[in-house]
Structure 1
């Protein structure tokens, strides 16, 4: 009987210790797996400036948590005026090998139709060690082809300012898409997927990119922005709205939206 009492006491102490341990969350992800995650379902409705591990970066723009337009809990709606910006920012996002996958559901209500060559960004990854901004999701209005087209881009690095848009990847307004991108530092490669399908025409890498001059190289990533920015003044339309949901960033491919 004393042995049984001692075993029971040990089990009780072990259970108490387990209950006292902190549980993982999106703000403190495991080092080899999920780096960030946000579904907006646990945030209050209304204007928001921060969430689970992220903050907001706005200028003539706003972020609002709203009931989901697809009938599934909540989503984030972003609004900008003119060439403003509205981003949610994961400020301390680092990954083993400087490589990671990101997935999100995205709907853009309208893309610019003026001025010519209007340039917009939806995702921007950066690092403090180099003046390079990698834009895996973005695009441009091309008057020569009368439309907006997706393209991977980069700013400020040795390859200069470029947006490698492709007419094979038209940007469609008013529809939800499941969007993924992979940043692979082994070849400074950016790969984009729409609704699970790889968009090979959008791939850029060390020597294959839209810039000129030196090889394209990644910075040591430590920040990721997701949202909207248009860079030209007096655009048409004069304001922009989009919605984000089911955001996940991981060292491995996450899979389809809602997974």
Structure 2
């Protein structure tokens, strides 16, 4: 009996990375949230909801059962995109917190400087804010997380950091804060603050032009790769427990 139990224990460890993550902070019962989606009430199959939209090109969104719950599978081909889109979003004072659980099958290893985005916030103003994304850095032969931006006076940039590697094939909980008081983005991974990833009005991607938030009205969560003919040629991301709030949500 002990041998069987031990074998079962090993099996559970082996399959757990592909299953939906267990957590005390999941679910959508909390009333103070600005937005929440845990996919539990949605049928399996092509993703659709009256509470959010879809933005795809060479990509799909599918609700799948994993382990004891449901998750959103994001699939793209090449430099495609597939996002769950929260429209008509309004954060008090233009500041908000976000939380997602994610598992990326693989990050790009080509071409050099391949750039990917998982969270993007836009609104009234030219700047596009990317609280979670990253880049394959050929000089280090690693994919690294980095906060980024595009449009407006700052142009395109990704403030990647060696201290924040993008880890594939493992569930992680990522949180961020968008603080309009100094246009600050702060990031936590698995509950641990990542101060190296913080960007502010004047500290962002080596760009001397001030970084200023738009008046947020849309948040997109999913995957986009910007360079053609990447390696690998397709990408799969599992997402769960998406939440936006006025206070830190926790993992």
The CA distance in 2 between the partners of 1:41 and 1:214, in whole Å, is 43
Number of aligned positions between the proteins: 223
Alpha-carbon spacing, 1:194–1:52, altered in 2? closer, same or farther (3 Å) = farther
The CA distance in 1 between the partners of 2:51 and 2:206, in whole Å, is 33
Post-superposition Cα deviations, 1:177-197, rounded to whole Å, max 9, x if no partner, equal 011000000010000100000
Post-superposition Cα deviations, 1:171-213, rounded to whole Å, max 9, x if no partner, equal 0100000110000000100001000001000000011110423
> Structure 2-normalised TM-score?
0.87
Q: Secondary structure of 2:203's partner?
A: coil
Question: How far is the alpha carbon of 1:247 from its aligned partner?
Answer: 0.8
Query: Bigger radius of gyration, 1 or 2?
Result: 1
Deviates more, 1:208-217 or 1:198-207: 208-217
Residue 41 (structure 2) aligns with: 42
The CA distance in 2 between the partners of 1:238 and 1:255, in whole Å, is 34
Residue 246 (structure 1) aligns with: 241
Matches for 1:12-31 after TM superposition, within 5 Å: none
- Runs of 4+ in structure 1 deviating by more than 2 angstroms, as ranges, are none
Alpha-carbon spacing, 1:171–1:151, altered in 2? closer, same or farther (3 Å) = same
Residue 15 (structure 2) aligns with: none
Give structure 2 stretches of 5+ with no counterpart. Answer: 1-27
1:196 to 180, 191, 209: 191
2:68 to 55, 58, 72: 72
> Structure 1-normalised TM-score?
0.84
Normalized per residue, which structure has more strand?
2
The CA distance in 1 between the partners of 2:207 and 2:168, in whole Å, is 31
Q: Are 1:224 and 2:223 an aligned pair?
A: no
Question: How far is the alpha carbon of 1:216 from its aligned partner?
Answer: 0.7
The CA distance in 1 between the partners of 2:220 and 2:38, in whole Å, is 16
Question: How far is the alpha carbon of 1:255 from its aligned partner?
Answer: 1.3
Give structure 1 stretches of 5+ with no counterpart. Answer: 1-25
RMSD between superposed Cα atoms in Å: 1.3
Q: Is the contact between residue 202 and residue 208 of structure 2 (CA under 8 Å) also seen in structure 1?
A: no
The CA distance in 1 between the partners of 2:246 and 2:165, in whole Å, is 28
The CA distance in 2 between the partners of 1:190 and 1:119, in whole Å, is 19
Q: Secondary structure of 1:212's partner?
A: coil
The CA distance in 1 between the partners of 2:195 and 2:49, in whole Å, is 33
